[in-house]
Structure formats: C-alpha cells, structure tokens
C-alpha cells in the first residue's frame, strides 16, 4: 500500500513523508485484552448473584454481618486482591474493597446492594472495548508508530534504523486465534523490562537480629501497550515485515 506525502491515514493525524510507504495498519485483536474482560465480567456476575439472592446464606447469630454481605466480601475482594498481586497493580484490590464497602453501606440503608457491582461490571466491559479500539499501530518503510487514544493520547514513533531486534510473544489463546505481541527492541532499552527475584533470612540472638538479603534481576522483553504492537493479529507476519526492513 502506498500513499503520497502529506496524506492522512484513515482520518488520523499521521502523515507520510515523500516516498514513505504504509505497510501495516493494525489494532489489537478483540481477545488481546481478555484478562480485563474476565475481571469486569466476574464483578458483574457477583452483582447478579447478589441481586438474585444466591449469596444469601444463614449465619449463626453471633456473626456481626449478614450472610450475603460476608459472601460478597469473600467472593469479590479475595480474588481481586490475588489478581492485583499477580498483575502487580493494586487498583483491582482497592476497587473491590471500595465496591464491597459501598454495597455494605447501601444494604444497611435500604438501597439495592447489587447496583455498584453491576454498574461497575457493565461500564468496565464497555470501556475495555473502547480502550482496545483506541490502540493503533502503523509500520511504514521508515518507522513504526504506536499510539493509544483513550482519555489521554500516548504516542511513540520509532525509526526503523533504531531497531536492533524484534521479539514476538504469543500467549496460549493467541496460538489458537493467531494474535500476539511484537516488541521492537532498541539499543536504548525500549521494549525491555526487568524481572526481580529476592530472598532473605535473619537470625536473632538475644536482643540482636542479623539479616542477610540478596536479589537478582533479569532483563526481559516487556513494554506497555502503546510501546509495542500489543495483541495484534498475525504477529509472525508483522515481525517478518519489520525484520526485513531492519536488514534492508
């Protein structure tokens, strides 16, 4: 595909230089953000269970909380705290605690306690789709443009001559539906994160305690969704196109 200099690509504010050729125009696959869909869908299901009284269990009289509220806290907060630990992001834990607290307040004040979870789940599912559609990736004969337009705008342009290597990551679901992430690596470290492993021990003798700790870091390919071609269809083909531009 070729477009002459100064033309806009599908109405977006990206223009090609003279002689520059657009090779790839891609968005993330609909299943690329399946993890977010599952989290919001889970919260929605909890809200529907609360609405249907499926969580209403009988507890002994000495419990200071109603059975359905106890089940709400257990089924909502505990899994999302675990998700926060896995994703290294405490927003899910804070969101679950806030939702459960609001539902508890509404329950004791005569309001439907399921409204926060249902509203949060529905709005979350819709927002994930808008979030996915806000990502756009272009590969031209001279550069890679990666952008995210959702609430704010984040954009990165990477000249082809700055790329040293290309890494392709394909999850299990991506192997089935043919999508994955293509991470262009540069000498400056763009596209590289670090995994840390820490260990420590201590010995207490009388009133004194001596501790020893150590750690090791390993650089691994990793980038935010607007710094890599995240979850795009046919990642092997895209990687081949970029690799051919590097060596040409």
Residue 14 lies in a domain: no
Examine the domain organization and report whether 242 and 172 are in the same domain: yes
Examine the domain organization and report whether 147 and 122 are in the same domain: no
Residue 172 lies in a domain: yes
Task: Answer with the one of 130, 145, 171 that is the final residue of a domain.
Answer: 130
The total of structural domains in the chain comes to 2
Residue 4 lies in a domain: no
pTM value is 0.75
Task: Answer with the one of 130, 150, 179 that is the final residue of a domain.
Answer: 130
The pLDDT tens digits along the chain (248 residues) read: 334 333 344 444 567 888 888 999 999 999 999 999 999 999 999 999 999 988 877 766 655 567 888 899 999 999 999 888 877 778 899 999 999 999 999 999 999 999 999 999 999 999 999 999 999 999 999 999 999 988 888 888 899 989 988 999 999 999 999 999 999 988 765 544 444 334 444 444 455 454 444 444 333 445 678 789 999 999 999 999 999 998 76
Task: Answer with the one of 130, 145, 166 that is the final residue of a domain.
Answer: 130
Question: What string of H, E and C letters represents the secondary structure of the chain?
Answer: CCCCCCCEECCEEEECCCCCCEEEEECCCCCCCHHHHHHHHHHHHHHHHHHCCCCCCCCCCCCCCCHHHHHHHHHHHHHHHHHHHHHCCCHHHHHHHHHHHHHHHHHHCCCCCCHHHHHHHHHHHHHHHHHHHCEEEEEECCEEEEEEEECEEEEEEEEHHHEEEEEEECCHHHHHHCEEEEEEEECCCCCEEEEEEEEEEEEEECCEEEEEEEEEEEEEECCCCCCCEEEEECHHHHHHHHHHHHHC
Examine the domain organization and report whether 105 and 160 are in the same domain: no
Residue 199 lies in a domain: yes
Residue span of the structural domain in which 240 resides: 134-247
């Amino acid at each position: 595909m070729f477009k002459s200099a100064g033309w806009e690509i599908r109405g977006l504010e990206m223009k090609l230089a003279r002689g520059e050729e657009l090779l790839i125009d891609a968005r993330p696959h609909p299943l690329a953000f399946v993890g977010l869909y599952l989290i919001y869908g889970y919260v929605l299901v909890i809200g529907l269970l609360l609405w249907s009284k499926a969580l209403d269990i009988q507890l002994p009289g000495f419990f200071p909380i109603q059975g359905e509220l106890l089940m709400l806290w257990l089924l909502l907060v505990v899994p999302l705290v675990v998700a926060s630990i896995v994703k290294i992001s405490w927003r899910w834990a804070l969101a679950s605690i806030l939702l459960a607290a609001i539902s508890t307040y509404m329950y004791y004040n005569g309001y439907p306690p399921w409204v926060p979870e249902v509203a949060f789940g529905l709005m979350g599912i819709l927002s994930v789709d808008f979030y996915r559609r806000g990502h756009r990736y272009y590969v031209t004969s001279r550069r890679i443009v990666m952008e995210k337009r959702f609430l704010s705008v984040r954009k990165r342009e990477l000249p082809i001559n700055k790329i040293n290597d290309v890494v392709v990551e394909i999850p299990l679901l991506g192997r089935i539906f043919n999508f994955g992430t293509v991470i262009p690596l540069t000498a400056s470290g763009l596209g590289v994160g670090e995994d840390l492993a820490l260990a420590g021990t201590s010995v207490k003798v009388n009133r004194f305690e001596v501790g020893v700790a150590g750690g090791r870091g390993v650089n691994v390919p990793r980038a935010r969704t607007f710094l890599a071609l995240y979850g795009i269809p046919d990642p092997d083909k895209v990687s081949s196109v970029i690799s051919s531009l590097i060596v040409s």
